[in-house]
Amino acid sequence: MKKSERAQIVQNRLESLYPVTTIPLDHKDTYTLLVSVLLSAQCTDKMVNRVTPSLWKLADNPFDMARKNVESIREIIKPCGLSPRKSKAIKELSSILVDEHGGKVPKSFEALERLPGVGHKTASVVMSQGFGHPAFPVDTHIHRLAQRWGLTNGRSVVQTETDLKNLFAESTWNKLHLQIIFYGREHCTARGCDGKVCGICAELFPNRKKAVLTKK
């Protein structure tokens, strides 16, 4: 089976399972989305959604957040992990948004990736889910699934992103990356499937005998 054929099977299966994709992080605008995505690093979306209501009570816009001290932010976001780094980044990026962008979240990868605590994956999520710009955010889970499904040989999320963009139409990227995340959480988890167990893995590689070891 060709890689393009595997990609089509994956897309058809995901579309049938998840015809509607809602953004898993609760937010009300691009600023609260940006902060939520930042908090989600090495943390579940469920935990982020549990923490952010208290954070928004403290400050739900960059003008107010920039005036808060780091410790007050950190105290709220501790359950998300990496709180010293994340709280500092939230305050600093809020100040930059106020000073350099009029309090608005910028609509470019370059400007977003210059913000403290915002890497390419976070910028891609904001561009995709916040602004509707075609992007294919790839986290370690999507990286792992893409390898299990034979869609990439990339040893990094950067290469995997490039390979997935080449396989799928640009118009599908924003929805597809969420569909892969949803499927991974329900059916192709790190512990629940080793490349042989879930429905998609079994369909794509029915004769696979060995587990797929992720190339980092």
Q: Is 18 left (phi over 0), alpha (psi -120 to 50) or beta?
A: beta
3-state secondary structure of 117: coil
Q: Class for domain 3-21+136-204, per CATH?
A: mainly alpha
- Look up 139 and say whether it is catalytic: yes
Does 209 qualify as catalytic in the annotation?
A: no
Q: How is the chain split into domains, by residue range?
A: 3-21+136-204, 30-130
**Digits of tens for pLDDT over the chain (216 positions)?**
899 999 999 999 999 999 999 999 999 999 999 999 999 999 999 999 999 999 999 999 999 999 999 999 999 999 999 999 999 999 999 999 999 999 999 999 999 999 999 999 999 999 999 999 999 999 888 999 999 999 999 889 999 999 999 999 999 999 999 999 999 999 999 889 999 999 999 999 999 999 998 877
Q: Write down the catalytic residue from 26, 28, 91, 121.
A: 121
Q: How far apart are CA 80 and CA 128, in angstroms?
A: 23
Catalytic residue among 86, 91, 139, 163: 139
Domain at 30-130: CATH code: 1.10.340.30
CB within 8 A of 200, min separation 6: which ones?
A: 9, 10, 13, 149, 183, 187, 188
State pTM to two decimals: 0.92
